[in-house]
Amino acid sequence: MRILVGTSSKMNLTSTEAAGYLDTLRPLVADLLDRDLFVLLPFTSIWIARDRLEGANVGWGAQDVHPEDAGAHTGDVSAPMLADLGCAYVEVGHHERRRDYGETDELVMAKVAAVQRWGMTAIVCVGEQERLSFDRVVEIIAGQLAGLRAFDPRRLIVAYEPSWAIGIGASPASPDWVAGVHDAIRSELAGAANGTVVPIIYGGSVSLESAPTLLGQRSVDGLFVGRQALDPRVFAAVAHVEPAASGESTAS
């Protein structure tokens, strides 16, 4: 499987700032033809990605979507609107959406349906809100993944993002923990994917220093880079990282 490296700028980068960001990033990653890259920008800056990344080896997308295609939903953005802007990816279920807006697993699955209905790939975020036992984390994630059986596995990416590993001052989950959780996700997806291998990427305080070891873990197909990627040079450097050799490890 090709390595997948992406980032979400969250509520950062105005249209003007996004133009400068992408103009800097594009030549820095132009040589990376053996892996897939993506950037998820605020709704107001997606048109900049369409203009600046046309013909580039970097895909673009959105950080959320409404489950309905149209209607009286003031302030929301629909999947056909995103598809019209050339989005290849749409993130759904990020822990901040679940925490701040009370998004449920059912709503997240409805958003996955909208994304796939319009030919885009859904990046489904899963993970625990606090440090818990390994068995409890696996149970929580199994519940978050349960609805995915109804969807096309060829247009799915699962992002494991434990909320305790996200944010200023946080540290990434240990490599052996990530390997164990990703193995559990892979097992959970096996019955739903009908033989298709769904990429599983890790997000949570990913840095240039931690990236090689994280990429070297079992069942880690890529990285979802957070705040460090707000510097396009850092994101480009992480995108170039090669997986470090990894021995057998167990969840802790």
Torsion sign (Cα): 132, 226, 188, 192 = positive
User: What domains lie within the chain, and their CATH numbers?
Assistant: 3-239 (3.20.20.70)
Asked whether the predicted pLDDT for residue 70 surpasses 90, the reply is yes
pLDDT tier for residue 196 given thresholds of 50, 70 and 90? confident
Instruction: Report the percent of the chain where pLDDT is more than 70.
Output: 96
- On whether the CB atoms of residues 50 and 35 are closer than 8 A, the answer is no
Q: What is the pLDDT of residue 245?
A: 85
Q: What residues are labeled active site?
A: 94, 161
Query: Who wins on pLDDT, 79 or 167?
Result: 79
Query: Tens digits of per-residue pLDDT, 6-35?
Result: 999 999 999 999 999 999 999 999 999 999
